[in-house]
């Protein structure tokens, strides 16, 4: 740095010495040489060049440093400031762009402060001479002749008002003119002008005094702001803080006094502008009649969770332009706050909402919690990013994956029965089972067992991979720990991740990152949405997402609050609820063609509440938000894609009809993907004429002594439920006892359901080593089975009915469990018994 400075100084001094030598070598006053006017012009040129060289040298020695600490502000999609933060030097100094200044304010400012601003070089010689004459005549300083450029110089380097300071300001003004354009200097003035206290700049003053953007100021307001910087102490409202009760006599009088004084000064300048023909008489009269509604207001603080996130994400951008919609944000804020106010009586204190435009994926509403200032209920926590359990809200994804694998269509029958998958035995929310139900019914009723069985068939890994593609960060971190409980809420998710997933459903299964930033308005290629970017991917096919949307729009379901069923003003939406274990989280996420809205209700503390159910607490809020945001929706809905078709299926199984299927219904399917399996809900059996005995091909009597009859072809797990619940169904008669052929086939053997093969079970024992506790034996057998035989280590324990529960005391160590039916079919498992 020192070497560079020395080189520059030597270069400047070299030029200066050359000028001196040239001056002394010129033959001034010699009539035989050059004409006198040329000699005078040459001398003047040398003087100007010398001054310029001197100024250049001074600029090198005393460089101009312009570093302004601006307040961070976050704006909405229409440019409205939704949140502002103090600058690092504790000032309300908001960066103002020239396009934000109304022509009225610009005209007033230039007319009052420096009407020759665009003509001089930073210093106005005429104004200097006039100010000097006035000061000498009145024997005191009455005018400083400061141009806008000189005022900027003083704002950048605050100095006492002395003659030396004026000289320094003049020098700095020349530096500013050499370095910046006129518009840039004017912008600096607009950003630095003092307005009393810690308020600087037109934008901050406009927002904090008038509560509106500078481009929307009236003529009267513009004049008021233009005159405050000259007298920021006496004319500003700096002593009136927004938190002070202005009803107090002393503070109220101070506010009135300053407002009256400011009003008088404003009217004087309006009269001068009229006299100078800057504005028309009508405009001036309107401004004079306008009351001066000026008061110190709170700085903008809309969507504080969102604003804090944007500031932390883009620390180098003093202005962050976002996609937020101010009107929708305010509406959602009010509705959610009213909702939580009513729910506090149940001990429910928090909620979060995210609204996304499906076409652009822009975030329109971001509500981290209804009350940021609620310290008692941790209102500062951002519920949009908080990791919570989703309950059943992930179920549509597994149904969509199963559709894309050809496992199900909307009318496919699934069994909602008690199951045990490797020791995991899920239950429904109401602890009841519904037997055979269609896939669409299982989804809209949020039955747990069918969803777990589908996840088991599809696979945990494919499900986790889809969630990772959709940006589920906690799932990515915990993927090795996740199991079948994932589909029932056994994982951590964020509201923004869930909304992104459902937004993909609304876009034909195509996932794309949510957009928070309006990149077209960010300054000089500043922050963009790459900060939140996740690669686009096709999570589901268009066909499966259309079928999901059709299923999730149905109103005949338990999670529709009764008071909403008669509301015909609701837009058509597809939605799914979720309630986490322990009733700690209530979810409701829905979409139509225009918007996706996600709602979470609960407590940031994690406290559970008996009343906290998605259908009762989150869904009413979801419907209210859709009704508020998309009230006049045309109910335009999704069109079936070309990859989807429909066909007739058996109503009993959802499969293609067989010759015995009498009841057929229409069902969507994906050609070349959906299963073409024929219906097998019935099967033929050879029975005696009195239907008391059944026969196999080896014991079939002669013709005329038996008949062929159709019986329900029920799987063992469904039979077990029917038997346990005493459901009536047609049972195949017992097999012919005189048949000499032993039935075989492991596929038809009874399935042991109470114990899991290869698992270890701990039992209680007394001090002598005798077993105290017992293990239970249950199985699922075929329709024709009447008796099963239980063996432990190849020793008969008991003969029982298939649905009967048997208990036994095991011995420590490896134990073989066998179950045989009355047709001779046997299944075996091995367990290990240990002491507890």
Contact between residue 514 and residue 361 where contact means Cβ atoms under 8 Å apart:
yes
Are 518 and 528 within 8 A, CB to CB?
no
The torsion defined by the Cα of 162, 164, 166 and 172, in degrees rounded to 10, comes to -140
Q: What is the pLDDT of residue 705?
A: 87
Which band of pLDDT confidence, cut at 50, 70 and 90, is reported for residue 1?
A: very low
* pTM (two decimals): 0.83
3-state secondary structure (DSSP) of residue 351: strand
Residue 726 sits at the vertex; the CA angle it makes with 721 and 729, to the nearest 5 degrees, is 85
Tokens of 644: 């989807």
Mean pLDDT lowest for which of 63-67, 209-213, 278-282?
63-67
User: What pLDDT was estimated at residue 377?
Assistant: 93
Degrees to nearest 5, angle at CA 298 with 292 and 302: 120
- CA distance linking residue 41 with residue 257, whole number of Å: 59
Tell me the pLDDT band of 825, cut-offs 50, 70 and 90: confident
Q: For 491-550, what is each residue's pLDDT tens digit?
A: 999 999 999 999 999 999 999 999 999 887 766 555 666 666 678 899 999 999 999 999
Q: For residues 813 and 832, is the Cβ–Cβ distance under 8 A?
A: yes
Q: What is the DSSP letter of 427?
A: -
* Local confidence band at 28 (pLDDT 50, 70, 90 cut-offs): very low
Residue 515 · residue 363 · CB < 8 Å? yes
Q: What is the β-pairing status of strands 682-688 and 81-84? A: unpaired
Average confidence score pLDDT of the chain: 84
Distance CA 552, CA 570 (A): 15
What pLDDT, on the 0 to 100 scale, is given for residue 243? 44
Coil, helix or strand at residue 43 = helix
Residue among 171, 163, 149 at smallest CA distance from 55: 171
* Percent of the chain residues topping a pLDDT of 70: 83
Partners of residue 421 on adjacent β-strands: 424
| Residue given tokens 């429910």 in the structure block | 348
Whether residue 638 has pLDDT greater than 90:
yes
Distance CA 320, CA 528 (A): 9
**Tens of pLDDT, residues 668-714:** 999 999 999 999 999 888 988 988 888 888 788 888 888 999 999 88
* pLDDT tier for residue 392 given thresholds of 50, 70 and 90: very high
């Amino acid at each position: 740095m020192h070497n560079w400075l020395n080189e520059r100084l030597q270069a400047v001094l070299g030029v200066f010495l050359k000028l001196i030598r040239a001056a002394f070598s010129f033959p001034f006053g010699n009539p035989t040489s050059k004409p006198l006017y040329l000699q005078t012009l040459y001398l003047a040129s040398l003087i100007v060049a010398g001054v310029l060289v001197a100024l250049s040298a001074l600029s090198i020695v005393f460089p101009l440093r312009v570093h302004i600490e601006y307040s961070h502000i976050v704006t909405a999609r229409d440019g409205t400031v939704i949140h502002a933060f103090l600058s690092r030097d504790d000032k309300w100094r908001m960066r103002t762009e020239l396009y934000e200044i109304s022509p009225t304010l610009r005209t007033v400012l230039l007319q009052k402060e420096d009407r020759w601003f665009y003509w001089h070089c930073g210093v106005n010689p005429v104004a200097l001479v006039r100010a000097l004459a006035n000061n000498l005549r009145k024997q005191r300083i009455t005018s400083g002749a400061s141009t806008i450029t000189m005022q900027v110089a003083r704002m950048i380097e605050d100095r006492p008002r002395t003659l030396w300071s004026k000289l320094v300001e003049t020098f700095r003004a020349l530096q500013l003119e050499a370095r910046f354009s006129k518009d840039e200097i004017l912008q600096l003035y607009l950003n630095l002008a003092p307005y009393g206290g810690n308020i600087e700049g037109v934008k901050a003053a406009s927002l904090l005094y008038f509560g509106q953007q500078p481009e929307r100021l009236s003529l009267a307001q513009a004049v008021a702001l233009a005159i405050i910087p000259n007298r920021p102490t006496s004319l500003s409202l700096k002593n009136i803080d927004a938190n002070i009760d202005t009803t107090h006599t002393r503070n109220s009088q101070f506010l009135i006094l300053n407002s009256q004084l400011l009003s008088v000064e404003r009217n004087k300048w309006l009269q001068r502008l009229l006299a100078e023909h800057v504005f028309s008489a009508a405009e001036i009269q309107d401004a004079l009649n306008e009351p001066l509604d000026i008061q110190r207001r709170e700085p903008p603080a809309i969507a504080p969770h969102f604003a804090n996130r944007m500031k932390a994400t883009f620390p180098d951008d003093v202005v962050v332009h976002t996609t937020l919609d101010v009107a929708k944000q305010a509406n959602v804020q009010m509705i959610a706050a009213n909702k939580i106010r009513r729910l506090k009586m149940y001990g429910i204190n928090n909620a979060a909402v995210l609204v996304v435009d499906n076409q652009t994926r822009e975030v329109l509403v971001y509500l981290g919690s209804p009350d940021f200032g609620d310290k008692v209920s941790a209102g500062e926590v951002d519920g949009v990013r908080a990791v919570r359990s989703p309950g059943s809200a992930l179920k549509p994804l597994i149904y969509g994956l199963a559709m894309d694998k050809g496992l199900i269509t909307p009318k496919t029958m699934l069994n909602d029965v008690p199951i045990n998958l490797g020791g995991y035995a899920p239950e429904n929310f109401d602890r009841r089972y519904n037997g055979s139900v269609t896939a669409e019914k299982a989804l809209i009723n949020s039955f747990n067992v069918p969803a777990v069985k589908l996840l088991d068939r599809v696979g945990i890994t494919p499900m986790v991979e889809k969630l990772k593609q959709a940006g589920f960060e906690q799932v990515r971190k915990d993927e090795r720990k996740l199991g079948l409980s994932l589909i029932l809420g056994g994982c951590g998710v964020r509201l923004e991740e869930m909304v992104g997933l459902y937004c993909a459903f609304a876009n034909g299964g195509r996932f794309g990152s949510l957009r928070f930033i309006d990149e077209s308005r960010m300054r000089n290629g500043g922050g963009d949405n790459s900060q939140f970017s996740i690669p686009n991917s096709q999570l589901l096919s268009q066909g499966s997402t259309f079928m999901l949307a059709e299923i999730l729009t149905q109103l005949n379901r338990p999670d529709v609050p009764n008071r909403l069923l008669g509301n015909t003003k609701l837009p058509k939406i597809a939605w799914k609820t979720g309630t986490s274990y322990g009733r700690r989280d209530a979810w409701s996420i829905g979409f139509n063609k225009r918007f996706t809205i996600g709602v979470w209700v609960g407590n940031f503390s994690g406290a559970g509440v008996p009343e906290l159910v998605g259908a009762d607490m989150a869904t009413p809020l979801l419907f209210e938000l859709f009704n508020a945001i998309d009230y006049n929706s045309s109910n335009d809905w999704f069109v079936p894609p070309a990859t989807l078709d429909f066909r007739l299926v058996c109503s009993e199984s959802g499969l293609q009809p067989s010759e015995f299927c009498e009841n057929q219904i229409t069902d969507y399917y994906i050609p070349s993907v959906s299963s073409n399996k024929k219906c097998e809900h019935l099967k033929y059996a050879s029975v005696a004429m009195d239907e008391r005995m059944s026969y196999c091909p080896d014991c079939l009597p002669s013709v005329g002594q038996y008949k062929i009859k159709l019986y329900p072809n029920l799987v063992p797990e469904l039979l077990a439920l029917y038997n346990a619940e005493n459901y009536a169904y047609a049972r195949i008669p017992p097999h012919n006892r005189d048949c000499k052929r032993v039935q075989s086939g492991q596929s038809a053997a009874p399935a042991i359901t109470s114990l899991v093969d290869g698992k270890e079970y701990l039992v209680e024992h007394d001090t002598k080593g005798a077993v105290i506790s017992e293990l239970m034996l249950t199985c699922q057998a075929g329709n024709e089975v009447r008796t099963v035989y239980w063996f432990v280590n190849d020793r008969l324990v008991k003969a029982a009915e298939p649905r009967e529960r048997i208990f036994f005391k095991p011995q420590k160590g490896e134990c073989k469990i066998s179950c045989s039916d009355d047709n001779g079919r046997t299944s075996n498992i091995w367990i290990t018994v240990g002491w507890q």
